[in-house]
Chain A
């Protein structure tokens, strides 16, 4: 395995300082708020775990959590395979590669509030390309009226916006595979699928890990795009967790419960990411008999 070298800490230290400087203070503040009832800036009452109990019993929150889980799962199931497929089909060199790379990256660069606003028009049946096309195909589509359409629109918008992240990571990962591996496979007469399964996929494990975790946590905290596009509606169909949190913190000025909620929210994401991380590490190394070292 890796050699033990405690001096490696010196290389990590700058990162540690940079991040700890920005991370610890906010965490302390949130913990501090979550156990107090702040009636006025100078009148605070210690309330212990009251806010946590209140948040955990909140029925609306349970519904929002379930919606959120379903949504994040859908995002991963669509974007990860699509991203890998896209990376595999992108040309490897020449002007085509450059052009495709730039086009694929474009959607990532649009500020999130603009993404929502553009799709708001884009999906309208009277003046938007998507809505108009669907309507002229005879499909009854209305993202402001139907919960299903709203949910699907938010999902498609997310796929449009974020699949490039997965694709770019995988594409760079594929380019980093030395030619020798492919030559060896050619000599062995390996099929395209075998090359993918036993060379490309294992070599992509590192970048796929970060892609899956990033897409999971970002989709779990999605706020701006659905908020601008649908405002969480119709009904509660696209009200996800972070929107619920913002309603609490900004709308009702409940700093205490909002802080408790943020902590619980963070712990849920942390737990799920930890499970995903460990699972992917095991899958990546465990089930490749004969593919050692």
Chain B
């Protein structure tokens, strides 16, 4: 009985994984073909496998610097988002204060605006500040959607932690910063891992703002990619190779935070 249920679950999981992997397989497949081969006929494997598309990316500085720029501002953004969101989420989950519910919901409303709305004002703002075409400008601009997300996710996890833990720690003489960093944050590791991954992910794939605020020095990979669409037609093969490479950093990030996500609650340590 238990075994059958177990098998049913595994079959469902395997089917989903197949569904998830097939389009990615197709992208990787395309990245090893030439444009002619992609458009000529259906083929499960590239007939004359070629590394040329990857060579284009790794030998052209404007291509590979796109990855470095993206990584830089995404990392800055993720770190700032988490640092400001952790204490705020704690405040929302533990205390009542003037306007708490309103501020909490208002935070999320910043994700409800069509991104195009931000373009012109941000362009003017960062030009005035002299931050155009810098990594910090994009990192700051992305805070507008990542900070609310991080606060909401972390608040959800913090509210699941019983309040007795805080009270016991304060009675034991812990100061707030020490309690927060050494006891509380480790308790919600899963939430921190997920929040970090989502901040990374949303900043990594954002195109409109990143493209508008940069020109050369901080141009992100998502913007560099748009050059595969030109008057001469689509460069499917190079786009597929670039797409394959954009997965890699995020996959590494999730590999590092996986323990935080999978381990979860560790009550015994308090």
Contacts and interface: CB of A to CB of B under 8 A. Distances in A.
Interface in A10-41: 11-12, 14-16, 18-19, 22-23, 25-30
A103 to B, nearest CB: 6
A27 B153 CA distance: 25
Interface residues of A, number: 100
Given A90-B13, A175-B263, A101 B258 contact: yes
B250 A98 contact: no
Contacts of A128: 26, 42
Nearest to B86: A11
Contacts of A100: 13, 17
Say whether chain A's binding surface is mostly helix, strand, loop, or mixed. Answer: helix
A165 B199 CA distance: 12
Interface in B24-53: 24-27, 30, 38-42, 44
Interface of B: 5, 9-10, 12-13, 16-17, 19-27, 30, 38-42, 44, 80, 84-85, 87-88, 90-92, 94-98, 100, 103, 105, 107-118, 120-122, 125, 140-141, 143-144, 147-149, 151-153, 155-157, 159-160, 188, 190-191, 193-194, 197-198, 201, 204-205, 207, 221-222, 225-226, 234, 236, 239-240, 242-243, 246-247, 249-251, 254-255, 258, 261-265, 267
Interface of A: 1-9, 11-12, 14-16, 18-19, 22-23, 25-30, 82, 85-86, 88-90, 92-93, 97-98, 100-114, 117-119, 121-122, 126-130, 132, 160, 164-165, 168-169, 171-180, 192, 203, 206-207, 209-210, 213-214, 217-218, 221, 223-224, 242, 245-246, 249, 262, 265-266, 269-270, 273-274, 277
Given A113-B225, A262-B113, 16 more contacts: A8-B94, A8-B100, A12-B103, A22-B118, A82-B16, A98-B258, A98-B262, A110-B247, A111-B205, A111-B246, A114-B225, A169-B153, A175-B263, A176-B157, A224-B207, A273-B108
